[in-house]
Amino acid sequence: MEWETLKAQCLACHNCGLCETRTNVVFGQGAEDAEVLFVGEGPGQSEDEQGLPFVGRSGQLLDKYLFAIDLDRKKNCYIANIVKCRPPQNRDPLPAESEACMPWLREQFRLLKPKIVVCLGRVAAQRMIRADFSVVREHGEFYNKNGILFMATYHPAALLRQPRSKPDAFADFLALREKIQEVCEHTY
Protein backbone atom coordinates (compact mmCIF):
# COMPACT_ATOMS: atom_id res chain seq x y z
CA MET A 1 0.00 0.00 0.00
CA GLU A 2 1.31 3.45 -0.86
CA TRP A 3 0.97 6.74 1.05
CA GLU A 4 -2.04 8.00 -0.86
CA THR A 5 -4.06 4.81 -0.39
CA LEU A 6 -3.04 4.53 3.25
CA LYS A 7 -4.08 8.11 3.96
CA ALA A 8 -7.42 7.70 2.17
CA GLN A 9 -8.19 4.56 4.18
CA CYS A 10 -7.13 6.20 7.45
CA LEU A 11 -9.33 9.24 6.80
CA ALA A 12 -12.32 6.90 6.54
CA CYS A 13 -11.43 4.93 9.71
CA HIS A 14 -14.15 3.74 12.10
CA ASN A 15 -11.98 1.37 14.15
CA CYS A 16 -12.83 3.01 17.49
CA GLY A 17 -15.30 5.37 19.13
CA LEU A 18 -13.15 8.48 18.58
CA CYS A 19 -14.53 8.64 15.03
CA GLU A 20 -17.88 9.73 16.50
CA THR A 21 -16.52 12.97 17.96
CA ARG A 22 -13.72 13.94 15.58
CA THR A 23 -13.87 16.82 13.13
CA ASN A 24 -10.87 15.59 11.12
CA VAL A 25 -8.60 12.57 11.19
CA VAL A 26 -5.02 13.74 11.78
CA PHE A 27 -3.08 11.30 9.62
CA GLY A 28 0.37 12.88 9.95
CA GLN A 29 2.57 15.31 8.08
CA GLY A 30 6.06 15.44 6.71
CA ALA A 31 8.52 14.21 4.14
CA GLU A 32 7.52 10.78 2.89
CA ASP A 33 11.20 9.79 2.77
CA ALA A 34 12.04 11.21 6.22
CA GLU A 35 14.64 9.36 8.27
CA VAL A 36 13.39 10.92 11.51
CA LEU A 37 9.87 10.25 12.79
CA PHE A 38 8.30 12.16 15.69
CA VAL A 39 5.38 10.48 17.45
CA GLY A 40 3.00 12.41 19.69
CA GLU A 41 0.00 11.28 21.64
CA GLY A 42 -3.03 12.42 19.73
CA PRO A 43 -4.68 15.48 18.22
CA GLY A 44 -5.85 18.35 20.40
CA GLN A 45 -8.49 20.89 19.46
CA SER A 46 -6.47 22.83 16.84
CA GLU A 47 -5.23 19.62 15.24
CA ASP A 48 -8.78 18.23 15.11
CA GLU A 49 -9.97 21.45 13.46
CA GLN A 50 -7.15 21.60 10.90
CA GLY A 51 -6.44 17.93 10.28
CA LEU A 52 -2.70 18.43 10.87
CA PRO A 53 -0.48 17.31 13.78
CA PHE A 54 1.00 19.75 16.29
CA VAL A 55 -0.44 22.98 14.94
CA GLY A 56 -1.62 24.49 18.25
CA ARG A 57 0.51 26.14 20.93
CA SER A 58 2.52 23.02 21.65
CA GLY A 59 3.09 22.59 17.93
CA GLN A 60 4.54 26.08 17.68
CA LEU A 61 6.99 25.17 20.43
CA LEU A 62 7.84 21.90 18.69
CA ASP A 63 8.56 23.79 15.46
CA LYS A 64 11.02 26.01 17.35
CA TYR A 65 12.92 23.00 18.65
CA LEU A 66 12.89 21.46 15.17
CA PHE A 67 14.17 24.70 13.63
CA ALA A 68 16.99 24.85 16.19
CA ILE A 69 18.38 21.56 14.87
CA ASP A 70 17.64 22.21 11.20
CA LEU A 71 14.58 20.01 10.97
CA ASP A 72 11.49 21.12 9.10
CA ARG A 73 8.26 19.15 8.96
CA LYS A 74 7.87 20.13 5.31
CA LYS A 75 11.35 18.94 4.33
CA ASN A 76 13.24 16.42 6.42
CA CYS A 77 11.17 14.83 9.16
CA TYR A 78 7.72 13.32 9.68
CA ILE A 79 5.23 13.92 12.51
CA ALA A 80 2.56 11.42 13.52
CA ASN A 81 0.55 10.47 16.58
CA ILE A 82 -0.38 7.31 18.43
CA VAL A 83 -4.08 8.05 17.89
CA LYS A 84 -5.24 9.89 14.80
CA CYS A 85 -8.47 11.29 16.25
CA ARG A 86 -8.90 13.70 19.14
CA PRO A 87 -9.88 12.17 22.48
CA PRO A 88 -12.72 14.26 23.96
CA GLN A 89 -11.52 16.94 26.42
CA ASN A 90 -7.95 15.96 25.44
CA ARG A 91 -8.00 13.00 27.81
CA ASP A 92 -5.32 10.31 27.38
CA PRO A 93 -6.25 7.83 24.67
CA LEU A 94 -7.74 4.64 26.16
CA PRO A 95 -5.62 1.51 25.67
CA ALA A 96 -8.32 0.12 23.35
CA GLU A 97 -8.22 3.31 21.25
CA SER A 98 -4.41 3.20 20.94
CA GLU A 99 -4.60 -0.47 20.06
CA ALA A 100 -7.26 0.14 17.41
CA CYS A 101 -5.17 2.94 15.89
CA MET A 102 -1.73 1.29 15.92
CA PRO A 103 -2.14 -0.43 12.53
CA TRP A 104 -2.06 3.02 10.88
CA LEU A 105 1.19 3.96 12.60
CA ARG A 106 2.64 0.56 11.75
CA GLU A 107 1.86 1.16 8.07
CA GLN A 108 3.39 4.65 8.27
CA PHE A 109 6.46 3.02 9.78
CA ARG A 110 6.61 0.45 7.00
CA LEU A 111 6.47 3.12 4.28
CA LEU A 112 8.84 5.55 5.99
CA LYS A 113 11.44 3.10 7.32
CA PRO A 114 12.70 5.70 9.80
CA LYS A 115 16.21 5.47 11.22
CA ILE A 116 15.31 7.43 14.36
CA VAL A 117 11.98 7.64 16.20
CA VAL A 118 11.45 10.43 18.73
CA CYS A 119 8.59 9.89 21.16
CA LEU A 120 7.02 13.10 22.39
CA GLY A 121 5.86 12.45 25.93
CA ARG A 122 4.84 9.51 28.09
CA VAL A 123 1.97 8.10 26.05
CA ALA A 124 4.10 7.67 22.92
CA ALA A 125 7.17 6.51 24.87
CA GLN A 126 5.25 3.86 26.80
CA ARG A 127 3.67 2.57 23.63
CA MET A 128 6.79 2.67 21.42
CA ILE A 129 9.68 2.01 23.82
CA ARG A 130 8.58 0.28 27.04
CA ALA A 131 5.33 0.09 29.01
CA ASP A 132 6.96 1.46 32.18
CA PHE A 133 9.11 4.11 30.47
CA SER A 134 9.74 7.25 32.55
CA VAL A 135 10.28 10.41 30.52
CA VAL A 136 11.71 12.25 33.53
CA ARG A 137 14.35 9.59 34.16
CA GLU A 138 15.07 8.31 30.65
CA HIS A 139 14.56 11.23 28.26
CA GLY A 140 17.35 11.77 25.74
CA GLU A 141 18.63 8.19 25.81
CA PHE A 142 18.71 6.19 22.61
CA TYR A 143 17.40 2.61 22.54
CA ASN A 144 18.20 0.34 19.62
CA LYS A 145 15.25 -1.86 18.66
CA ASN A 146 15.90 -4.04 15.63
CA GLY A 147 18.28 -1.48 14.14
CA ILE A 148 15.98 1.52 14.69
CA LEU A 149 16.93 4.09 17.31
CA PHE A 150 14.19 5.24 19.69
CA MET A 151 14.41 8.22 22.00
CA ALA A 152 11.86 10.08 24.10
CA THR A 153 11.71 13.65 25.20
CA TYR A 154 9.20 15.86 27.01
CA HIS A 155 5.90 16.51 25.29
CA PRO A 156 5.85 20.18 24.19
CA ALA A 157 2.55 20.68 26.07
CA ALA A 158 4.36 19.54 29.25
CA LEU A 159 7.08 22.12 28.53
CA LEU A 160 4.45 24.84 28.27
CA ARG A 161 3.17 23.82 31.72
CA GLN A 162 6.66 23.33 33.19
CA PRO A 163 9.15 25.66 31.50
CA ARG A 164 11.86 24.51 33.93
CA SER A 165 12.19 21.32 31.85
CA LYS A 166 12.98 23.27 28.67
CA PRO A 167 16.80 23.09 29.04
CA ASP A 168 16.59 19.29 29.39
CA ALA A 169 14.37 19.09 26.31
CA PHE A 170 16.74 21.32 24.36
CA ALA A 171 19.65 19.10 25.33
CA ASP A 172 17.67 16.12 23.98
CA PHE A 173 17.25 17.87 20.65
CA LEU A 174 20.99 18.65 20.50
CA ALA A 175 21.70 14.96 21.19
CA LEU A 176 19.23 14.13 18.43
CA ARG A 177 21.11 16.36 16.00
CA GLU A 178 24.35 14.51 16.78
CA LYS A 179 22.66 11.16 16.32
CA ILE A 180 21.16 12.26 12.99
CA GLN A 181 24.61 13.30 11.81
CA GLU A 182 25.89 9.89 12.84
CA VAL A 183 23.23 7.58 11.39
CA CYS A 184 21.14 9.44 8.80
CA GLU A 185 22.14 9.78 5.16
CA HIS A 186 20.05 12.56 3.66
CA THR A 187 18.41 14.44 6.54
CA TYR A 188 21.03 17.20 6.57
Instruction: Return residues touching ligand URA (CB under 6 A).
Output: 26, 40-44, 47, 53-54, 58-59, 81, 157
- Closest CB to ligand URA among 26 and 184? 26
Q: Which residue is nearest to ligand URA (CB)?
A: 40
Give the separation between CA 41 and CA 90, rounded to whole angstroms.
10
Nearer to ligand URA, 2 or 22 (CB): 22
Strand partners of residue 152:
119
CB of 180 to ligand URA, least distance (A): 22
Whichever of 57 and 145 has its CB closer to ligand URA, that residue is 57
Interhelix angle 95-112/3-11, rounded to 10 degrees, is 160
Query: Least distance to ligand URA from the beta carbon of 3, Å?
Result: 19
Q: Which of 42, 54, 61, 41 is nearest to 122 (CA)?
A: 41
Q: What angle do CA 108, 113, 118 make, to 5 degrees?
A: 80
For ligand URA, the closer CB: 115 or 155: 155
